[in-house]
Amino acid sequence: GVTAYGPRSRMWYRETEQSKGLFITDPAVFAVLGLIGFTVGQPFGKDGKVQGVVAADITLEGLAESISQPPVSPNTLFYLLASQGRVLAASDLSRTYVANKGKVELRHISGPDSALPAIAYSAHPRNGGAGLYNFSFDGKEYLASLSNLPPDFGKRWQFFVITPVTDFTGAFDDNNKLLLLVGLVATAFALAVIYFLSGAVSAPLERLAAKVTRIQEMGSEPLPVVRSNVREIDVLARAI
């Protein structure tokens, strides 16, 4: 049926159009379903002129499910953080926000739900950096890493990883060589997850924009198949 919905009047459309590249909104309440999430947009066009925008709404619950699978170890925790340590998504699927009068308030990583992430976050070296560091909590040794997502992702978000050393050492005694090995493995995994997360959002939308341009040109060549591990983007890709 006919709908009065006009995307060109929406803020996310105008800001994506102006950015001429990948654009991610701040978390908000979706007008249609009342869910909490953000919109990822990628403009498409020809000869440098923007003709439209391919976009997907990603819920915070869906994002949390994406970073929770598969778990690297039974007790490893992942957090995607917005600015100032505000939690966008948590691998334990805990609630990360409060909707108050149509506005979304993200809880801080040091919130009252659990002391572990608060201790881990406060233990991060003051000189910054994305390196691995260790800390103790409740008689156990932990490793943590706080890494920035790539600049071309469009948001100054961070990926926060916390893992207990015993998840990797098992019954073995802790020693420097083993800690070094665990540290290297955890760092490599964190970097791999950061690469996956940024690619899972940006790359499929860029391919969708190219696909829409091909449709406009009405060429005879078969259209490329676009898939994504993010549920909302994959649904959009299958619909085009």
The structure tokens listed for 128 are: 């910054």
Q: Which residues, 6+ apart, have CB-to-CB distance to 15 below 8 Å?
A: 23, 25, 41
Bridge partners of 164, per DSSP, are 142
Sole residue written with tokens 């966008």: 88
Instruction: State the average pLDDT over residues 164-178.
Output: 65
Distance CA(103)–CA(186), nearest Å, equals: 36
Residues in the chain: 240
The structure tokens listed for 33 are: 């379903």
Residue 118 has pLDDT above 90, yes or no: yes
Element (H, E) at 149: none
Residue 123 has pLDDT above 80, yes or no: yes
The structure tokens listed for 67 are: 């970073």
Residue 222 has pLDDT above 60, yes or no: yes
What confidence tens digit (pLDDT) does each residue in 124-145 have?
A: 987 766 678 889 999 999 989 8
Distance CA(117)–CA(137), nearest Å, equals: 10
Q: Quickly state the pLDDT bin for 155 (edges 50, 70, 90).
A: confident
Structure confidence at residue 117 (pLDDT): 93
Structure confidence at residue 192 (pLDDT): 63
Distance CA(9)–CA(2), nearest Å, equals: 17
Task: Considering only residues 74 and 217, tell me which one the structure prediction assigns the higher pLDDT.
Answer: 74
The structure tokens listed for 38 are: 């953000």
103: left (phi over 0), alpha (psi -120 to 50) or beta: beta
Question: What ranges in the chain are assigned the alpha helix state H?
Answer: 11-19, 60-68, 115-122, 166-169, 176-217, 231-239
Nearest CA to 159 out of 77, 57, 38, 75 is that of: 77
Q: Is the peptide bond before 70 cis (omega within 30 degrees of 0)?
A: yes
Distance CA(232)–CA(237), nearest Å, equals: 9
Indicate the average pLDDT of the chain.
78
Instruction: State the average pLDDT over residues 157-186.
Output: 70
For the chain, percent of residues with pLDDT exceeding 90:
15
Long-range residue pairs from 211-220, CB within 8 A, at least 24 positions apart, any chain = 211/240, 212/44, 212/52, 212/54, 212/240, 213/44, 213/45, 213/46, 213/51, 215/240, 216/46, 216/51
